[in-house]
């Protein structure tokens, strides 16, 4: 277990160092945004949901560094029904004509409702840009991760295989569409897996301010907590600020 935790810590430390080490690369650009969403219903059912997403992506000729932090909190009839934090970091070094890339992926995850106190993972991956232009990007990656997880059932360390695909289409200067999907499978028990789908539309309304609508599907093939559905689907509408 100590070796697993040490590997995860090394990956989490190495990712930002690798990203900053490449800042001298020419034509590097940062794209950052903060998106906030909220819904509230009162009457026959009292329900509230608040979400926040912070993104910081760096694109350069030799490497890309993609980061996100998502959080949500919600209540229904006074009881907490949503509570999640997920941070991801993906560093990619391009080679082979700069369509192929190799790098490292790391994630930290907490879900109150699913009783996942902490899940930390990290490991190497390999991917390919099928499309990589200013207006459209399409890539796919596959990698292996070392995982440490602490849930209501106890602690566990294991290895997993991760497959992911990402698509971004800047339809116009003011509107864009994105689609991201990933699936993770335990290498010792492939029936034990989880996935995430995020898709949405974003439209600029004034300078750096935009409206967005997003669908998230957080899938768990074998939830640890009782009475938990396999698919946790959330639809979010809100405002995003690009900086």
Q: Place 226 in a pLDDT band, splitting at 50, 70 and 90.
A: low
pLDDT, tens digit, for every residue of 39-52?
Answer: 887 877 788 999 99
> Is the model more confident about 202 or about 221?
202
Position 225 scores a pLDDT of: 64
What is the H or E stretch that residue 150 is in? strand 136-151
Contact (Cβ atoms closer than 8 angstroms) between residue 217 and residue 235: no
Position 4 scores a pLDDT of: 46
Contact (Cβ atoms closer than 8 angstroms) between residue 8 and residue 146: yes
Non-local (6+) Cβ contacts of 96 within 8 A are none
Non-local (6+) Cβ contacts of 60 within 8 A are 22, 25, 26, 27, 28, 29
pLDDT over threshold 60, residue 114? yes
Residues 151-157: contacts with CB under 8 Å, at least 24 apart: 151/114, 151/115, 151/116, 151/117, 151/224, 151/225, 152/115, 152/117, 152/224, 152/225, 153/224, 155/1, 157/1, 157/4, 157/5
Position 83 scores a pLDDT of: 92
Across 160-171, average pLDDT: 97
Across 200-209, average pLDDT: 94
* Domains in the chain: ranges and CATH: 2-242 (2.40.160.40)
pLDDT, tens digit, for every residue of 52-86?
Answer: 999 999 988 899 999 999 999 999 888 888 899 99
Position 139 scores a pLDDT of: 97
Distance set, CA 44 to CA 48, 74, 76, 94, 103 (Å): 13, 17, 11, 54, 50
pLDDT over threshold 70, residue 11? no
Q: What percent of the chain has pLDDT over 90?
A: 65
Position 13 scores a pLDDT of: 46
Mean residue pLDDT of the chain comes to 87
Q: Place 25 in a pLDDT band, splitting at 50, 70 and 90.
A: very low
Distance set, CA 117 to CA 16, 110, 153, 179 (Å): 24, 5, 10, 28
> Which of 1-15, 110-124, 177-191, 222-236 is the least confident region?
1-15
Distance CA 212, CA 117 (A): 30
Across 87-107, average pLDDT: 94
């Amino acid at each position: 277990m100590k070796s697993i935790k040490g590997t995860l810590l090394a990956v989490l430390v190495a990712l930002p160092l690798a990203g900053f080490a490449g800042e001298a690369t020419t034509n590097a650009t940062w794209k950052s945004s903060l998106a906030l969403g909220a819904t509230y219903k009162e009457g026959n059912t009292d329900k509230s949901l608040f979400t926040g997403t912070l993104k910081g992506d760096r694109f350069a000729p030799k490497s890309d560094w993609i980061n996100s932090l998502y959080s949500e909190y919600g209540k229904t009839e006074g009881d907490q029904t949503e509570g999640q934090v997920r941070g991801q970091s993906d560093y990619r070094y391009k080679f082979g004509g700069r369509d192929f890339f190799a790098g490292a992926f790391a994630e930290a995850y907490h879900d109150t409702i699913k009783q996942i106190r902490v899940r930390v993972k990290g490991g190497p991956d390999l991917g390919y840009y099928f499309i990589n232009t200013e207006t459209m990007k399409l890539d796919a990656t596959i990698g292996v991760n070392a995982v440490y997880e602490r849930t209501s059932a106890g602690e566990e360390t294991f290895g997993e295989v991760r497959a992911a695909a990402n698509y971004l289409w800047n339809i116009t200067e003011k509107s864009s569409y994105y689609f991201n999907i990933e699936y993770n499978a335990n290498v010792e028990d492939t029936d034990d897996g989880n996935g995430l789908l995020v898709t949405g539309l974003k439209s600029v309304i004034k300078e750096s301010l935009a409206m967005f609508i997003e669908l998230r599907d957080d899938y768990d093939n074998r939830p640890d907590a009782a009475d938990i559905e396999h698919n946790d689907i959330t639809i979010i509408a809100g405002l995003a600020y690009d900086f």
